[in-house]
Homo-oligomer: A and B are copies of this chain.
Amino acid sequence: VAGPLERLKDRLREIQDLSAVARLLEWDQQVTMPPAGAQHRASQRATVQGLVHELLVSTEIERLLEELRPLEESLEPDSDDACLLRLVRSDVEKETRVPAELRVEMERTASAAREVWVTARVASNFELFRPALEHTFELRRRYVECFDDVEEPYDVLLDDYERATRTTDVRTTFAAVKERVVPLIERVRGREADDDFLRGTFPPEQQEQLARVVIEQFGLRPGAWRLDPTEHPFASSTGFDDVRITTNYNAEDITSFFAVMHEYGHALYEHQLPQHLVRLPTGRYCSLGIHESQSRLWENLVGRSIGFWRVFYPRLQEAFPEQLRDVVIKRFHRAVNRVQPSPIRIHADEVTYPLHVILRFELEQELLAGTIETRALPEVWNERMHEYLGIEIHDVAEGVLQDTHWGSGYVGYFPTYLLGSVMSVQIWAAAMRDLGDLDELVGRGEFTSLREWLGEHVHKHGRKFLPQETLRCATGTTIDPTPYLDYLESKHG
């Protein structure tokens, strides 16, 4: 008969399998599912989420955790099993507070609301989406109420994506970013544009071929990933050695191509999670912030560097000769690094990007507190976009309806994008200390050592430690916006 630790792990493996299945249900819904299947899919997702909940808060797991207390105290605190027990205790403690019905309804609503969002966005009609949005926030308020020992309500939501991270600390980090980014935007605003060649005709077929070339050269295990077109780019791991990148090829704008490098960063993280912890909660990614640090690192620090384009620009020119034949690499590189306030977050340049995130971070807190009514949201959105970036929004599809997150039930998720951007530069600097001139390596098309360094210093820890502990493992410090801001200023200032 298996001992209590093995019995616990068996249950946890089942729960992890169900979570992977939940990710497949979501990937499939966005990539392959016939649209009419949405209603039944919502039930399926709710059922799976309900079972995850039921299994996690079972008396069986409770008893096993109790039984394992003496063992836990005898273990090295950083050992795999100690980390596992600590993590599971915390997950169970949290999940126990949430009634099963609420968990199921959150999932069902998320799945259904996403379809409503798709329709509303296509129709550029916020009112179509508003009831679903209201319901989403109402459910989040009920969720927050399950936790009575937090400094502020938003902490609860944030914790789902970035464990043990306080809203007040995020606010401090974001304030520091805003303080130096706003003047930086002012300084570069009005610089002459020379990037018309980025808009034109870029057939998706060629973009896809190139995307595969980039992914293969960056490196993922063969036969263990796929790439599909979708409305909103994302990467998802639906199993070990089964990582799925999606992207959106804009046939008229080649800058959409950067999403490929971004999603590659996510995929690589999933690909290099610790194999010996597969199907255990410690074998998953640490947090969305750490995840995003990986995607932003590949998108910006690699993908927008001159070295990267030294390797890939000839192939890009070859794929789109009419567009790029007469554009020399330096001009191209300058164009894809141009700072220019624009309405869509996922197409934003590195410098204006933080303000897109900060806007959503603020609005989520206000919507949660009820200090903004959903009815007023498009107007508030547009006003703040004007205030922060000086631009006018004329279409809700390019404003408040642009992101899938709220429709998919992800509230508290956005801040991790900026936390990740900040951490990406800290991690890049740490890798530089070990590997020397990374720009030079990238410029030779040599990605193996960077990939392996990230595997060794970030990915291999999985979810054993808290996000800030993981960052400390990789860089020696916790989050610090200074390197990020120095980088932005030195590159764009």
Contacts and interface: CB of A to CB of B under 8 A. Distances in A.
Given A24-B25, A34-B224, 5 more contacts: A18-B47, A34-B223, A34-B225, A36-B222, A39-B240
Nearest to A55: B51
A14 interface: yes
24 contacts: A13-B43, A14-B47, A14-B50, A17-B44, A17-B48, A18-B51, A21-B25, A21-B47, A24-B24, A24-B28, A28-B238, A34-B225, A34-B226, A34-B244, A35-B223, A36-B224, A37-B239, A39-B240, A40-B239, A40-B241, A40-B279, A43-B279, A44-B239, A51-B51
A242 interface: yes
Given A39-B240, A39-B241, A51-B14, A21 B44 contact: yes
A224 B279 CA distance: 33
Nearest to A19: B44
Contacts of A48: 17-18, 21
B21 A242 contact: no
A20 interface: yes
Given A14-B51, A21-B25, A25-B21, A226 B32 contact: yes
B224 A40 contact: no
A238 to B, nearest CB: 7
Contacts of A238: 28, 33, 37
Contacts of A224: 34, 36-37
A415 B28 CA distance: 33
Contacts of A17: 43-44, 47-48
A488 interface: no
Given A14-B50, A51-B51, A20 B44 contact: yes
Contacts of A221: 36
A224 B33 CA distance: 9
B13 A47 contact: yes
Nearest to A242: B37
A41 interface: yes
A119 to B, nearest CB: 12
Given A13-B47, A40-B278, A43-B13, A242 B33 contact: yes
A33 B40 CA distance: 22
Contacts of A225: 34
B24 A242 contact: no
Interface string A228-258: 0000000000111111100000000000000
9 smallest CB-CB distances across A and B, nearest first, come from: A37-B242, A40-B239, A36-B224, A36-B241, A17-B47, A40-B240, A36-B223, A37-B239, A17-B44
